[in-house]
Structure formats: structure tokens, C-alpha cells
Amino acid sequence: MVRGLNKVMIIGTLGRDPEMRYTPSGRPVTSFSVVTSRSWTSGDGERREEHEWFNVVAWGTLAEICKTHLKKDQQVYVEGRLQTRGWEDEDGKRHYRTELVANEMIVLGDRRLNVEYSGSDEDAQDDGDYAF
């Protein structure tokens, strides 16, 4: 089998405070959203801007660090991999959600608040027993 690459790096602004939960096995998982922006000038000279929202999930030690150090409207660097999971609701309807599973995070902006974490592969592993 040919090996692939799934690596995502974003710099953006937290859209909400992180929410931390624990899996039934006691493992911490933190979720938050990050918005990235890009701007450009169109062919007719008009200034345009576009926003992209990312659902971010952090596991283990990184989950605890994100919950402690991140707040809405902070600028952050997040690195990890994309993962799409699916589930069926109580009405039998199928839903899908694509998430950035973080393995590294750096708080940007005010130097007094800078926090950097590079996690192990174990911290970024999805054990599959959580729901948001």
C-alpha cells in the first residue's frame, strides 16, 4: 500500500472558548473552533475577503493545555490531521463532521501568553468513544 500524507497547519482566531469533556475511559478531549481569513483583490480591483471555519479536537495532555490556555478571540497556530467521522442521530439520519485532530498548538499574539505544545502520536489518537 502506498503511504499518504494528511497534515494540516492553520493560523487563525478562536471562535469560541474550548470545551473539555472526558471519554468513558477517562481520557480528556477538548474541542474548539478556529476561523482563518484570507483577502485578495479581484480582477476588477475590488477587495475581497473569505473566512474558513475549522472544528478542532485535541486529546490527552494537549486537550488539557488547550482548555487551560485558550480563550475566544485569541490567535493560535494549530497543526494536525483532518479526520471525518460519521454518526446516525435518533431519527436515523446520517451526519458527518470533518475535524482537525491537533497534535501541536502555539498561542500567538501577546508574548506573555505564548504556550507551545508538540504532542506525541498517542495524544492525537482518536479512541472513538466520544460524542459532541
The answer, yes or no, to whether residue 118 has pLDDT greater than 70, is: no
Global confidence as pTM: 0.79
Please give the C-alpha separations between residue 34 and each of 19, 20, 81, 84, 100, in angstroms, as whole numbers.
13, 16, 15, 17, 10
In the chain the domains, ranked by start, together with CATH numbers, are: 8-39+47-118 (2.40.50.140)
- Alpha-carbon span 111 to 124, nearest angstrom: 26
The answer, yes or no, to whether residue 117 has pLDDT greater than 80, is: no
pLDDT score, position 129: 39
Mean pLDDT of all residues in 103-119: 72
| Cell numbers given for 25 | 475511559
Q: What percent of the chain has pLDDT over 90?
A: 80
Q: What percent of the chain has pLDDT over 70?
A: 83
